Amino acid sequence: MQVVVVTGMSGSGKSTVMDVMEDIGYYCIDNLPPQLIHRFVEICRESENKLEKIAIAADLRSGEMFADAYDCVCRLKEQSDLHVKLLYIEAQDEVIIKRYKETRRKHPLDERFNGCLHQALEFEREQLLRLKAIADYYIETSYISVSQLKEQIRETFLETPSDSLSIKVTSFGFKYGVSTESDLVFDVRCLPNPYYIPELRHHTGCDACVRDYVMQFEQSKILLQKIEDLLDFLIPLYIKEGKSRLVIAFGCTGGKHRSITFTELIGDYLIEKGILPILKVDKGLAAEVDGVRLMKPINGLDALLERAKERHIFGTKMRSVISSYNEKGIHEIVKQQFAYGIQIAKAGFVPILEPEVDIHSQEKGKIESFLKAEIDRYLADLDDGIRIMFKLTIPDEAGLYDSIASDTHVVRVVALSGGYSREEANEKLAQNHHMIASFSRALTEGLTDSQTDDEFNEMLRESIQAIYDASIA
């Protein structure tokens, strides 16, 4: 078992470090009293679903209990069956003081030193000296950006940097509308259409006969190679900039033949690169009943999941919508999402459950409170081995979904902008510290084809930066 103990000066960036550790696969627990570290490690080691990687943050927030931190870490390092590393984070006093002024937060020792931050920092450094002396890794954050800190953590604790980026590859039909959640959109209508081949019309790009037809043409082979080359160039840049999620969409006329062919082939290519693909499994929304739009029945899901195993799919995504407050309807939404989610999880995938709440509902806050209660109820009944993700509309009540994010069954809770303006979405996201952005509409706000390249790129850069800042607030 790998154990990373994170400590250091308050305001130096430990929270950012723990967020990254969680993103790259560590089970994280923050502000754990040192006396409980050994017990926590034992629980993790003895549990049925043994955790392989854990990260523990311990610092002066634990008060007088922190005095035992040095001895606790030393005893932990003595255990031969554990791979224990101590990561120490600090920054210069003037930088920490500036950060506290900007955030308007109190230092953990604020009351002890009557608000004198200089004295608090001096005392804190003295208390940390022995731990600093035995640290395996040391990072000084005074003059590095948040993105640089994140990259340094990823480079230190990841076997491969690509582990930090989640990539979703999807397909769509232009006659149904362009995919709005995508970062990269490729139009493959330039290729010969299998629809006009009678024996291929009723097949899809999942079938070998369609793939063989599409890829027999030289232009198809060249296009595939050029897309692979482009992704080889772009993905490291996205990783370097700290992007955690990338959506790639392929479109053709009906979204059935050419687009699926390229989705499958690029999915295979990315898997070879060590990247995990996500599969959209829902068949669209049913008509509104009881204030909600359930998903249409996902017929043939077992067969789809079997094909997904062959394509090495990591997880799935499915969406339903809640328009108004109706307890019966909300219950049915959660029931359906969990029923399919459990089926998908038992098949070996990580399902993303997306019960979207209409932001224009006059009872949005009331809907979200009941939705959370229903989700909590279903989470409590899940088997220990089930792991799921949630994609939820940013709630009106700050921190409403924090308990969901901390549930042992939940890998991550991502936020969708849901139609909010970028400014509104970012403001709400910044108040929900356990959610990360999965914005599409908010990201593309203000972007038009009439802009110059420089105008377009500058607005996109500003959008990305604003959403990024809100995600780490």
- Residue 364 is predicted with a pLDDT of 93
User: SS3 of 258, please?
Assistant: helix
- Residue 276 is predicted with a pLDDT of 63
For residue 427, pLDDT beyond 70: yes
- Residue 161 is predicted with a pLDDT of 46
Q: Residue 159: pLDDT band by 50, 70, 90 thresholds? A: low
- Residue 256 is predicted with a pLDDT of 92
For residue 383, pLDDT beyond 80: yes
pLDDT digits (tens, 9 = 90+) for 291-308: 999 999 998 899 889 888
pLDDT digits (tens, 9 = 90+) for 386-396: 999 999 999 99
For residue 442, pLDDT beyond 70: no
How far apart are alpha carbons 286 and 343 in whole angstroms? 20
With tokens 């549990």, the residue in question is 47
- Residue 369 is predicted with a pLDDT of 96
Q: Which two tokens stand for residue 392?
A: 């939820």
- What is the number of residues in the chain? 473
- Residue 212 is predicted with a pLDDT of 94
- Residue 306 is predicted with a pLDDT of 86
CB 139 within 8 A of CB 147: no
- Domains of the chain with CATH codes: 2-159 (3.40.50.300), 162-276 (no CATH), 279-416 (3.20.20.70)
With tokens 């006329």, the residue in question is 253
- What average pLDDT is seen over the chain? 85
How far apart are alpha carbons 444 and 194 in whole angstroms? 33
- Residue 162 is predicted with a pLDDT of 47
For residue 176, pLDDT beyond 50: yes
Q: 334 Cβ partners below 8 Å, 6+ apart? A: 355, 371, 374, 375, 378
Residues acting as catalytic residues: 354, 391
Q: What phi and psi values does residue 18 have, to the nearest 5 degrees? A: -65, -35
pLDDT digits (tens, 9 = 90+) for 363-379: 999 999 999 999 999 99
For residue 355, pLDDT beyond 90: yes
pLDDT digits (tens, 9 = 90+) for 119-149: 888 888 888 888 888 888 888 888 777 877 8
- Residue 318 is predicted with a pLDDT of 92
Mean pLDDT of 339-366: 93
- Residue 236 is predicted with a pLDDT of 79
The closest alpha carbon to 157, from 259, 257, 53, belongs to: 53
How far apart are alpha carbons 159 and 176 in whole angstroms? 41
pLDDT digits (tens, 9 = 90+) for 27-58: 888 888 888 888 888 888 776 666 778 999 88
- Residue 242 is predicted with a pLDDT of 59
The share of the chain scoring above pLDDT 70, in percent, equals 92
The share of the chain scoring above pLDDT 90, in percent, equals 34
**Would you give the DSSP letter of residue 34?**
G
Q: Residue 243: pLDDT band by 50, 70, 90 thresholds? A: low
